[in-house]
Chain A
Amino acid sequence: MEKKELLKNEQIERILSPHPLSFMKLQALCIFVIVWGIVVWWLTQFSAYKGIFGGNGWYPLILWGLVLLLVGVVASLVAIQWSIFFLYLGVFAGGLGLVFWQHWENESTLFLLVYSIAVSIVGFLIVEFYRRSHKYIISNLRIMFKGGVLTKRERTIRYDKIADIDAKQGILGQIFGFGTIIPVSESGLGLGSDTSMAAGGLAVGSQKAKLFGFAGGGKEVQTPIARSYYELHGVYPYKEIKQLVEGLVQTHVPTQYQKEQIEFQKQQVDIQKQMRDLLHKQVSEKPRKKVVKNAVEEEEPEEEDSEEEEKIPVKRKEKDEEAFAQEQVDIQQQMKELLKKQMTAHAVEKEEEEGEEENEEEETDKEEKEVA
């Protein structure tokens, strides 16, 4: 990954790619082609049933093609992916085309063996290229997914936008220590739907549902599904990566205590604003009063009799001061309460932490005792 792609203060934690066995579903398709090719060769050349195929060169080809297509249909129904059937159909059509073109009807058994091996090798290579095109970058700020052989695809997800983490580990993954982690975003990226039809087969789209699902009812289930370049597909070591991602998500998502603190800070700001407004008021009132006072002082030698009139602004001044003081007291009271709340929240947090530490210590003591 180039440095210029990194954000400010971004550090890369891990760069990963899928485990070689993580695309076993695709590799299994190639393994079947190769195994079936060998079995057909053995059946027609060495088995006790070779006499059946002796008469006609087309028989082995028909048997090979029929079983291949049948397996393709079954695999497509199980995986809800018709591309498997069309892939096998392509392999069958290719073989048939080559036999017609080169007139290899009489050497069809040997051709099938060689063709199966060649097709499987090509298949393995394509799967390997596809696997190698994946790159997952885990940084301290986000996860970047890069993939695609011809069309480059990229997805970036920030830890604070991860709503849920789905993790799965198949049997092969459990044995070899790899697994898939799907970070589901708040917008729902990473979620897919499994659609099935009850009696008519399966429905992938509404049009296909009409074709295959004429007798059944549809059922859609929302599950965490993503393309291999939108998820951490078959990453190794699974447990370590899962812990790392979960830890990073945890650090980027505010805890309850942090949320409370943010709320306190907001309230503090509000109170400070109130205080500032009050001070503004006080300051804006003062010059007016000063002016009034000066005017009174200037008038004093001339009009000594007007004592009653003088008392009015003084009273007003006292009233204003009282009001300001009251407001100040209120604000101070609010501030005090807020600080108290903050202090208690902090103390609770500390106690919880200490409790957790004590528990951990107890557990370690227990473990040490057990070990001893």
Chain B
Amino acid sequence: MATVPLDVDSLLGAAFAPILGVIGFWFLQLVFIELQKRMLTRLRHRHDAFLRFTNFIGILFQTICHALGYTVTRSGIAAFQVTVHYGKVEPKKEKTGVWEWIIQSFLLFGPFFIPAGLVLLASYFVIGNGFVFPTLTHFTFMDSLTGFITGLSTYAAAVVHFLSTIDLFNPLHVGFLVVLLFFGLGIRPSYIGEERKEKVTMIHDLVLIKNHLIQKPLYMLVFIVGMYVFYLVSLFLSPLVYQAVFMILGWISLTALLALLLTYLVIAMIKATDEIRPHWNIVPYITLVVSYVLSRVFFLSYPVQHIGTISLLVMILSTVMITILLIKYKRTNRFKTAIKMKHVRAADGKKRAFKKRAD
């Protein structure tokens, strides 16, 4: 049992420090998600299939979270359906009151944490290190917050180190990267609708969550009191338990942020290749693969230190260079018609072509 000084800082301040940290990261996650949605919406015109795919992943996780809510509350699941445009979960028993609130909470908060939580679980097996729970010496607000941030930074450093030395010839590493990207595209609770929208409401999900929390203030109060009781119990028995719960939530948020950052790169690449003429626009993707394979093969013959990182750098630099060059010299025609010219020709029944002059 730990010796705890009986002052306000240790009884209140230290309890709120990790909560504050988690909320801060969660807000950052929300902003990143909204940014991703905005980027995806701009791709709508040319990459409808890609948008439908990302929608499907998002809806899949959202529906799973909804179903999880029904399972946890023992409502049972009567129907479960996931399509590209919507997800549907029907309970066997309709529950009201606090159960309904819990189900709604799963639906609203689940997509932020559950997919990223699964990635975190995978990263534990792939990365292995970086999962450090800091021990508190002084039970103060600042000490608790510093411990929380230290734990997160250790994990972030481990993940960044892994990503910078990732071996793309290792199926396990490639699999993890794919999972990270896959889940990164799904960590967004809001659905990008079928209709075209130029502007997406910023922090749309936050409004829904705010309404959910305001709707039942009593439940929220009970939840907060429950958490505080949990803090007090853990404070006197083992303070690490309380810290660890919020630490895991922080890691989940951090994993989500990293996954979202990676998806930005993918979206940016798709956007950049859109600037290049058809047929030429697949060259950057080919460069991405070929440059890495070539550099790895080259370094097999001339071994040096940090082969993985150097190969990654070669891959990134050559792809960026090639893309910039192609955008400069093989830029696509920006003045496009709404209907494809091929269709117009078919409708006209004539093939328009320039006639060569006799002279």
Chain A residues close to B by CB (< 8 Å): 38-39, 42, 46-47, 171, 174-177
A42: B residues at CB distance < 8 A: 169-171
Whether the Cβ atoms of A177 and B170 lie closer than 8 Å is: no
User: A177 vs B85: C-alpha distance in the bound complex, in angstroms?
Assistant: 12
**Count the A-B residue pairs with Cβ separation under 8 angstroms: how many?**
25
CB pair B171 A177 closer than 8 Å: no
- A38→B56 contact, CB < 8 A: no
The 25 sampled A-B contact pairs (Cβ below 8 Å) are A38-B171, A39-B171, A42-B169, A42-B170, A42-B171, A46-B169, A46-B170, A47-B170, A171-B56, A171-B83, A171-B84, A174-B52, A174-B56, A174-B83, A174-B84, A174-B85, A175-B49, A175-B52, A175-B53, A175-B56, A175-B84, A176-B49, A176-B52, A177-B48, A177-B49
The 9 A-B residue pairs whose C-beta atoms are closest, nearest first, are A174-B84, A175-B52, A175-B53, A176-B49, A39-B171, A175-B49, A42-B171, A175-B84, A174-B83
Taken together as a complex, chains A and B put the C-alpha atoms of A23 and B240 apart, in Å, by 53
Residue on B with the closest CB to A45? Answer: B169
Q: Which residues of B contact A39 (CB under 8 A)?
A: 171
Determine the residue in chain B with the shortest Cβ distance to A38.
B171
| Interface size bracket, B side | 10 to 19
Query: Assuming A174-B56, A174-B85, A177-B49, what are 8 further A-B pairs, CB within 8 angstroms?
Result: A39-B171, A42-B171, A47-B170, A171-B83, A174-B83, A174-B84, A175-B49, A175-B53
Q: What's the Cα separation between A177 and B52 when bound, in Å?
A: 10
Question: Cα distance A175–B50 when bound, in Å?
Answer: 8
The digit string for B26-66, where 1 denotes a CB below 8 A from any CB of A, is 00000000000000000000001100110010000000000
For residue B82, which residue of chain A has the nearest CB? Answer: A171
Q: How far is the CA of A176 from the CA of B51 in the complex (A)?
A: 10
A302 to B52 alpha-carbon distance, docked (Å): 109
Chain A residues, CB < 8 A from B83: 171, 174
In this complex, what residue of B is CB-closest to A177?
B49
Smallest CB gap from B60: residue in A: A171
Name the CB-closest residue of A to B53.
A175
The docked-state distance in angstroms from the alpha carbon of A42 to that of B172 is 10
Query: Which A residues are in CB contact (< 8 Å) with B56?
Result: 171, 174-175
Residues of B within 8 A of A47 (CB): 170
Cα-based distance from A171 to B84 in the complex (angstroms): 7
| Cα–Cα distance between A174 and B81 once the two chains are bound (Å) | 14
A176–B171 Cα distance when bound, in Å, is 28
Which of A39, A47, A174, A176 has the largest number of chain B CB atoms within 10 A?
A174
Interfacial chain B residues near A46, Cβ < 8 Å:
169-170
Complex Cα distance, B171 from A177, in Å, reads: 31
How many whole Å from A346's CB to the nearest CB in chain B? 39
B168 to chain A, nearest CB (A): 11
Residue of B nearest to A21 (CB): B49
CA distance A164 to B171 in the complex (A): 47
Q: Which B residues lie within 8 Å of A38 (CB)?
A: 171
Distance between Cα atoms of A47 and B56 in the complex (Å): 35
Nearest-CB distance from A371 to chain B (Å)? Answer: 11
B146 to chain A, nearest CB (A): 37
A20 to chain B, nearest CB (A): 13
Could you mark each residue 277-316 of chain B with 1 if its beta carbon is under 8 Å from any beta carbon of chain A, else 0?
0000000000000000000000000000000000000000
Residues on the B chain within 8 Å of A174, using CB: 52, 56, 83-85
How close is A4's CB to chain B, nearest CB, in angstroms? 25
Binary contact readout B168-208 vs A (1 if CB under 8 angstroms, 0 otherwise) = 01110000000000000000000000000000000000000
Q: Kindly provide the distance from the CB of B348 to the nearest chain A CB, expressed in whole angstroms.
A: 20
Neighbouring B residues of A176 by C-beta, 8 Å = 49, 52
Task: Choose among B83, B84, B85 the residue with the greatest number of A CB atoms under 10 Å from its CB.
Answer: B84
Query: What separation, in Å, do the CA atoms of A176 and B56 have in the docked complex?
Result: 12
Complex contacts, B171 vs chain A, CB 8 Å:
38-39, 42
Interfacial residues of chain B within 61-86, with CB under 8 A of chain A in the complex: 83-85
